[in-house]
Amino acid sequence: MKYIFCVLIFVFQSAFLFCVDYILQEPVFKSNRACSMADAVFSNPRGIDSLLYNPAGVSEKIYPKNEKASINLALDIFIKNSAIDEVKKSSFLQNAKNLISQNGIGAKLPILISFIPQKNHFINWAVGFCGGTYLFANGEPFPLGTQGYLHHSFYFPIALSLKFLDLDSISANFGMCVNPKFKTYKIFNGYNEEKTNFSVPVDLGFILNVKNVFYNNSDVRFAFVTKNLFTEDIFVNIGVASIFPFKIFKIDCAAIISAELHQINYLYIENNVYKSLRIGGELGFADFVFLRAGLKSGYFSFGIEFKILSCMLGFSWQTSENGTYIGDNPLSVLKISFSIK
């Protein structure tokens, strides 16, 4: 019966695919977990992922635990794939010049401060502050180039989540997050254009958790997320995640597999399921070491994150398609993250 119920829910979610347009935007702060799992974290958010991707996860107890407060720092280095092979052909300094002058290189310095108290099992709230600076340069002279893009962004997410169903075999959460955002853009193209933007988008999230599907404590979660309501950038994601807890020498571990559909407008307009599909996997060992990998639009991603005292240090690699079709204009990012929890 549970297997039939899971199939019906997935079919129900799919009915929403052809009614929403999507405008792709790189978030100000992308977690190391999201980067290494190809962004397939909406269906099983954990910790800050609940605040960033699916507010319904704020009141959900995610294995092994949901951090209450954290300070998260990261360095993102963006590299066009056409420039990667040049590393083998020249010295490091010459290659750095080639990357910028011929292909362009970008960097982003984001910070996220979050607080998720989890005082109540049925209702909970979370707040955060996120800021970031993004720079991309392309052209001569080295190093800044004749063309570039500078972007500052700040937002203050405030989330509320409600567990409105909690039975022995099934539970359901609903969440809402208000995101006041302020952005400034500066484009260096000979005219030095400057723009500012302020918006208050709203995110809505839903998680349905079917318990003990394969064995005891093995859950399957279905998620439906609408992001950026009341703006031109509204989009919808759906997904499913399976959680498989296990023990190694009495150490609590878990394996997570998630499959999601993003960028719904590509399904509606171009019928390109490949570009919308996200698949992610995670192996967690006692909340100490996390090994992750994913598949996004035909490109592999991977990463590792491990605990040092009360801090987490992570490294991840992800490639995204910024063109109109797969292989048109891929862009890779190397993320180095550090968080205090």
Residue 282: which pLDDT band, with cuts at 50, 70 and 90? very high
Our measurement of the distance from residue 240's CA atom to the centroid of its chain's CA atoms, rounded to an integer in Å, reads: 15
Residue 119: which pLDDT band, with cuts at 50, 70 and 90? low
Q: Are 160 and 176 in contact (CB under 8 A)?
A: yes
Q: With the C-alpha atoms ordered 275, 206, 312, 288, is the resulting torsion angle positive or negative?
A: negative
Section 313-321 average pLDDT: 90
C-alpha distance across the termini of the chain, in Å: 40
Alpha helices in the chain (DSSP H): 2-14, 32-36, 48-52, 92-98, 264-265, 273-276
CA atoms within 13 A on the CB side of 154: 4
Q: How many residues does the chain have?
A: 341
pTM of the model: 0.81
Q: Are 44 and 222 in contact (CB under 8 A)?
A: no
CA distance 132 to 147: 20
Condensed to tens digits (0 to 9), the pLDDT of residues 31-71 reads 899 999 999 999 998 878 888 899 998 877 554 455 677 88
Q: Would you state the pLDDT for residue 303?
A: 96
**204 versus 192: which is more confidently predicted?**
204
Counting residues of the chain whose pLDDT is more than 70, the rounded percentage is: 69
Chain mean pLDDT for the chain: 77
Q: Would you state the pLDDT for residue 159?
A: 92
Our measurement of the distance from residue 6's CA atom to the centroid of its chain's CA atoms, rounded to an integer in Å, reads: 24
| Residue among 9, 12, 49 nearest 256 (CA) | 49
Q: Would you state the pLDDT for residue 18?
A: 28
Q: Are 52 and 33 in contact (CB under 8 A)?
A: no
Q: Are 198 and 184 in contact (CB under 8 A)?
A: no
List beta partners, residue 126: 159
**231 versus 83: which is more confidently predicted?**
231
CATH number for 186: 2.40.128
Least confident of 122-131, 155-164, 322-331: 322-331
| DSSP string across 93-133 | HHHHHHIIIII-EEEEEEEEEEE-----SSEEEEEEEEEEE
Q: Are 304 and 314 in contact (CB under 8 A)?
A: yes
List beta partners, residue 292: 282, 303
Q: Are 322 and 331 in contact (CB under 8 A)?
A: yes
CA distance 222 to 283: 20
Those residues whose C-beta lies under 8 Å from the C-beta of residue 324, and which sit 6 or more positions away, are none
CA distance 329 to 336: 23
CA distance 267 to 278: 13
**108 versus 207: which is more confidently predicted?**
207
**136 versus 303: which is more confidently predicted?**
303
Section 278-287 average pLDDT: 92
Total domains in the chain come to 1
List beta partners, residue 239: 223, 260
Q: DSSP 3-state assignment of 252?
A: strand
| DSSP string across 16-45 | TGGG--------S---HHHHHTTTTTSSS-
CA distance 131 to 113: 9
Show the domain range for 144: 2-340
Q: Would you state the pLDDT for residue 125?
A: 87
